[in-house]
Amino acid sequence: MLLRTALLATLEDQGLQHDEIVFAQDNKAKKWFDNNRVRLLPWPVQSPYMNIIENA
């Protein structure tokens, strides 16, 4: 599996930045991340009120 052989070390150190990841119904990808202790970094709420530039 590509993630295990090529990216796991990086994912363990850095985490995975994602935006709206949708896991298949069987959750194999989510289980893989959990089993390999990969942190999924949360994204903040996307709102025009949260935009620093527009609300400065």
Summarised one tens digit per residue, pLDDT across range 15-41 is 565 655 555 567 777 788 888 887 777
Residue 22's pLDDT is what?
A: 59
User: Running DSSP on this structure, what letter comes out for residue 17?
Assistant: E
Q: Calculate the average pLDDT of the chain.
A: 67
Quick one: tokens of 24? 């298949």
Whether the predicted model's global pTM rises above the 0.75 cut: no
Residue 26 lies in a domain: yes
Q: Is 55 inside any structural domain?
A: no
**In-domain check, residue 25:** yes
pLDDT of residue 27: 75
Look-up of token digits 């527009």: 54
Residues of the domain holding 14:
2-50
Q: Radius of gyration of the chain from Cα atoms?
A: 15
Distance CA 28, CA 11 (A): 17
Number of domains within the chain: 1
DSSP secondary structure letter of residue 7: I
- d(CA 54, CA 25) in angstroms, rounded, equals 38
pLDDT of residue 23: 55
**Is 28 part of a structural domain of the chain?**
yes
For residue 56, is it within any domain? no
